[in-house]
Copies of this chain bind each other. A is one copy, B any other.
Amino acid sequence: MTNIRKVAELAGVSVATVSRTLKTPDIVSPGTRDRVLAAVEQAGYRPNLMAVQFRSQRTRNLVVLVPTIANTFFARVIGGIQEMAQRRGYGILLCNTLGDERAERAYAGMVSTRQADGLIQLRAYDPFTASNGKTRPPMVNACEVLDEAPCPTVKLDNRAAARAVTEHLLALGHRRIGMIKGPRNSPLTRDRLLGFQDALAAAGLTPDESLWCPGDFTPPSGHRAAGDLLSRADPPTAIFCENDEMAMGAMRRIREAGLRVPEDISVAGFDDIAFASFCDPSLTTIAQPAEEFGREAVSLLLDIIDDRDDAADQHRIMPFELVVRESTGPAS
């Protein structure tokens, strides 16, 4: 392996001069500089970044904990994370946790053990809970956010967005509205449910909890839940799904039952994934700036790492937009 000593020897200078030529060329005399650069070229020298990182105690890597990379929305968020990280000179270590807290704590250890400089968590769980009293490693919580997050957060006003969807359905004359929820115990699911109830309450309706079905954000779970709703004696005229993937599954199930969307049943989703505008019928949903979530999370995290004073307590609320497409129509 060609190291800095070999280059120094080749150029007839000391290792310090080689290091300086590469890091602060202006304090090296032009003659020496050229000689060193020629030697670098000749030896095909690339600095061993492990040594650099070790010396500087900075890896310039960030750990990202993703519940499921298979989820199209998260894929977009990761795209944004990746883009901003690259721009700022950081790499990302992707960890697909499948929501397993033990795995998340293990991955979070990569920050404690200096494999990475910070962590972005896309789920509502603090993997550093158990870390005993020590200073918290740099972390940002985005997308699905803890209520009392001990770190900066980036999230949507899920309650307001869910309310907007529900109000849209109410305005179309729907009164019995089914709900396909996300995983239990999630603040995100809870907030979307609250927004849903807010809208019903504002319209003077009492919510019917028998129309709330559990799901897990995958198309099959939406399919199953919709089947459940359709089998009721008095099925809903509209279904609000907490994400688009479940909405796609639900629409499929409705058609399998011989019913049409939106003529017989309206369906709304959440996230505005790429397929939302290409499926049939195209999906009414809430558009979120997914990539922007990622970019913002990286930005906040690097603020902590470079310890900007005001960085620790930043909480960003990202904008949403109700996108009305073909899957919702007047109540029959």
Contact = CB atoms under 8 A, between A and B. Distances in A.
Number of chain A interface residues as a range: 35 or more
Contact of A109 (B44, B46, B72): B46
A125 B47 CA distance: 25
A63 to B, nearest CB: 8
A114 B59 contact: no
A75 B79 CA distance: 11
Interface stretch (A23-31, A87-95, A208-216): A87-95
Nearest to A83: B96
Given A219-B274, A278-B219, A91 B93 contact: yes
Contact of A248 (B49, B69, B275): B275
A44 B96 CA distance: 27
Given A75-B70, A248-B278, A279-B279, A44 B132 contact: yes
A255 interface: yes
Interface of A: 44, 46-51, 53-54, 57, 59, 61, 68-70, 72, 75-76, 78-79, 82-83, 86, 91-96, 103, 109-110, 112-115, 132, 134, 218-219, 223, 245, 248-249, 251-252, 255, 274-275, 277-280, 282
Q: Which 9 pairs between the two chains have the least Cβ-Cβ distance?
A: A54-B54, A94-B94, A49-B113, A82-B96, A219-B278, A252-B278, A50-B54, A50-B114, A248-B278
